[in-house]
Amino acid sequence: MTKQEFIDSIAAAAKKYASSYGIKVISPIIAQAILESAWGASSKAKYHNYFGLKYRANRVTCNNGYFEDGGSEQSADGTYTNLPSATAWYAFDSLDLGVKGYFEFINIANYANLKGVTDAKVYLKNIKADGYATSLKYVDNVYAVIIANNLFQYDESNEEKEESELSNSSLVSFTKISPNKSSPRNHAIDTITIHCVVGQCNVETLGNVFASATRQASSNYGVGPDGRVGMYVEEKDRSWCSSSSSNDNRAITIEVASDTTSPYAVTDAALAGLIKLCADICKRNGISKLVWSTDKNQRINHLNGCNMTVHRDYANKSCPGEYLYGKHAYIAAEVNKLLGVGTSTETNDSTNGALYRVQCGAFFQKSNADAMLAKVKTAGFDTYLVQVGCLYKVQTGAYSIKANAEAQLNKLKAKGFDAFITTKTGIAATVTKKSVAEIAKEVIAGKWGNGDARKQKLQAAGYNYSEVQSKINELFS
Ligand SMILES: [Zn+2]
């Protein structure tokens, strides 16, 4: 294999799997493979382990056992330690599976800060901070490989495409948008509500049902008896599904084809399709795990992290039927396995390197997020904006110790902000800053208003007002 062939093979496999794991940047992954496997020539690459993935029981599922080999690690003081020659490493059957194994390996809570990152350097800094590599110069070394081999070209082409895919599930095989919806939803997506159709109808039939405006009903998604997924209301919009505006504004609603009589059973294929869909929804919306409770009070008040509700919570209905209701704990467990949280003990406070951030709101409209950001700043907090999927989140601080995050939370609450602690972050929204010339053109086009308001807006968005102004003068001269 030539070097270019190696790059192309790793890039193709990485592109194939990245989006389903929420990973948006390919170049650092190609560079990691180049560096870790010495262009596929290392002893570990013989087993298609291009990323130096040490074997950990129950972490990766696409491997074919493990092999034993030595290696070395660098300590904080710069010295190297040789690993025992009997160290276990993941073995894979092909390059494709070796790359898939990488994504499975990082698909745990500890590496959640990689999801959605579009900047190669940020990706590398995060993965180093997560404990992936021991080399002290890891970030610089891998980044140098990206530059030397012009790997950025593998990132650009699909950026726009993935952005739009992010807002809806790529599992959808049939789309028929219903007129029965409120657009956009007024709350961030943090809940899943599963319904039963009371009919074993396929996703096309369900689409026709919801296409009727007189029906006054819809759902975001439907799952047919064959497990296929249909979309009727985009995720950015609120479906009319659960007899509760507040629930439907925060939930993704899913109608699952079912029998017409109690217990309204669904097919195994539908159940499997539903689980996949739920995992996909969670990944794209920053829901780290599904939490079910058999206690209605916990469900409707979202207590103890509960983020699954049912139609019967809001109306005198049996929906989702005894069959699906009884499957909710199973669905949550299966989805969490796909999310890499399962029953593992990865959530230990001090050792997993997770950072606690305090969040003061999530918005679909950037202008609303900007307004909240300005408010929080005015109140004296150091705050920033991150983008997760189609949401802009206002966050402050990043604390390795939860107590510090709680102290910050209390300060924010004392000033009247509705805030909570999260370990999720996203792409720094300010990375999309435009050039002074672009902004100058926008100002001329009237997009930034006039006078003082314009000045304030530009400064709030992080632009140097006088720089923009002199560019405008230049353009007019
Ligand atoms: Zn229902």
Res 133 pLDDT > 60 = yes
CA of 120 to the centre of ligand 1 (A): 43
Ranking 40-54, 147-161, 265-279, 331-345 by mean pLDDT, the lowest is 147-161
Q: How far is the CA of 256 from the centre of ligand 1 (A)?
A: 9
pTM given for the model? 0.44
Instruction: Quote the ligand 1 centre to 243 CA distance (angstroms).
Output: 8
**Distance (Å) from CA 303 to ligand 1 centroid:** 22
Cis peptide before 179 (omega within 30 of 0): no
What pLDDT is stored for residue 344 in this prediction? 37
Span from the CA of 446 to the centroid of ligand 1 (angstroms)? 47
Highest mean pLDDT among 183-187, 210-214, 451-455: 210-214
Domains annotated for the chain, with CATH where assigned, are 3-164 (1.10.530.10), 171-339 (3.40.80.10), 356-432 (3.30.70.1070), 436-476 (no CATH)
Lowest mean pLDDT among 132-141, 179-188, 343-352: 343-352
pLDDT in tens, 359-417: 888 777 777 888 888 888 888 787 888 776 667 788 887 777 777 788 888 888 888 88
CA of 27 to the centre of ligand 1 (A): 44
Distance 195 CA to ligand 1 centre (A): 4
- Among 12-21, 348-357, 419-428, the range with the most confident prediction by mean pLDDT is 12-21
Q: How far is the CA of 237 from the centre of ligand 1 (A)?
A: 18
pLDDT at 346: 32
- pLDDT for 179: 96
Question: What's the pLDDT score for residue 389?
Answer: 61
* Distance from Cα 327 to the centre of ligand 1, integer Å: 15
**What pLDDT is attached to residue 357?**
81
User: Is pLDDT of 457 > 90?
Assistant: no
Mean pLDDT value across residues 52-68:
91
- Looking at residue 188, its pLDDT comes to 83
Q: Tell me what the mean pLDDT of segment 199-207 comes to.
A: 96
Tens-place pLDDT, residues 142-170: 999 998 888 988 886 544 433 433 479 99
Predicted local confidence at residue 137, as pLDDT: 87
| pLDDT for 430 beyond 60 | no
Distance in Å, CA 273 to ligand 1 centroid: 18
Q: Is it true that the peptide bond before 263 is cis, omega within 30 degrees of 0?
A: yes
66 Cα: distance to centroid of ligand 1 (angstroms)? 47
Give the tens place of pLDDT for each residue, 266-315: 999 999 999 999 999 998 888 889 999 999 999 999 988 899 999 999 99
Computed over every residue of the chain, the mean pLDDT equals 86
User: 236: CA distance to ligand 1 center in Å?
Assistant: 20
Q: What is the pLDDT of residue 354?
A: 62
Give dist(CA 100, CA 321) in Å, integer.
Answer: 37
Nearest to 220 by CA among 199, 238, 206: 238
Percent of the chain exceeding pLDDT 70 equals 92
Instruction: Evaluate if residue 340 carries a pLDDT over 90.
Output: no
The whole-number pLDDT of residue 390 equals 63
Q: What is the pLDDT of residue 454?
A: 83
Lowest model confidence (mean pLDDT) among 269-278, 299-308, 316-325, 429-438: 429-438
Please tell me the predicted confidence (pLDDT) of residue 208.
96
Residue 235 CA, ligand 1 centroid: distance in Å: 18
Confidence grade of residue 474 (pLDDT, cut at 50, 70, 90): confident
pLDDT at 425: 61
Residues with CB under 5 A from ligand 1 (ion): 195, 311, 319
Question: Among 197, 28, 189, which Cα is nearest to 120's?
Answer: 28
Distance (angstroms) between ligand 1 centre and the Cα of 194 equals: 7
CB neighbour class for 164 (10 Å; exposed up to 12, middle 13-18, buried from 19): exposed
Better-predicted residue by pLDDT, 76 or 69: 69
Ligand 1 centre distance from Cα of residue 274 (Å): 15
Report the C-alpha gap between 110 and 340 in whole angstroms: 10
On whether the CB atoms of residues 472 and 442 are closer than 8 A, the answer is no
Confidence band of 131 (pLDDT split at 50, 70, 90): confident
C-beta of residue 254 within 8 angstroms of C-beta of residue 277: yes
Q: Is the dihedral of CA 454, 457, 461, 466 positive or negative?
A: positive
